[in-house]
Structure 1
Amino acid sequence: MKTDALRGHLDGLLLAVLEPEPLHGYAIIAAAQQRSGGALELRTGTIYPALQRLERLGLLQSSWDAVGERRRRRYELTEAGRRSLAQERSAWAEFTAVISSVLNPVIPSPGQAT
């Protein structure tokens, strides 16, 4: 999928992936790819700045986890993040309905009142 197509939707995607449970960066990428059936290929150079921005906005919080000798930053939704995700979902539903009405208009059949 084109990266340009994701512009403006990345925050919602990240929040949705983190809704069920806290994850570290690579697990977020893997979850998005798995949920999209492989269509989304998010890059670390895109994900990490977005995660840091969402954390600064108070939508995520992070903590360090030790896995063996490796440390990973684990991200999870805050209550503000859950509210923001609900707003993103509502805005997405409205957006897709409007675009769908233009791309796939209901055309009255001949003789049908308009």
Structure 2
Amino acid sequence: MTSVVVVGWLDLLSTYWGPTVVLVYSSLTRALAEALADVLWFVDSSEDEQMDPDDAVKVLEGVAHVVGKLSGDQRNELVDLLGKMVEAEPDPERREFLAGLPEGFGFLDDAA
């Protein structure tokens, strides 16, 4: 498999999960949803030696705060994108993680 040279946080991800492939996305929203899922996956799956647990909680609380400020339509769009990501994900562990994001990270409306 050929590695792709990447910079920034993708380098960090590839350190833990192997070579990272940079994709071209159809929209900015899709790219940001993918990036958010990657960050949450990293934080959620990090060992204490990789990331301080207090820092991990701060990141997760920050995401919950931002998502809480989204409109219902925006949250629905994010949940729809996550559903598409679940369908396309070949890794069973990551697929399960992605499937649990909407409920586990407060992406669903309280009324739903």
Say whether the fold is shared (TM-score over 0.5): no
Structure with higher RCO (Cα < 8 A, 6+ apart):
1
* TM score, norm. by length of structure 2: 0.30
- The structure richer in helix per residue is 2
TM value normalised by structure 1 = 0.30
Q: Which has the larger radius of gyration?
A: 1
Q: Which has the higher strand share?
A: 1
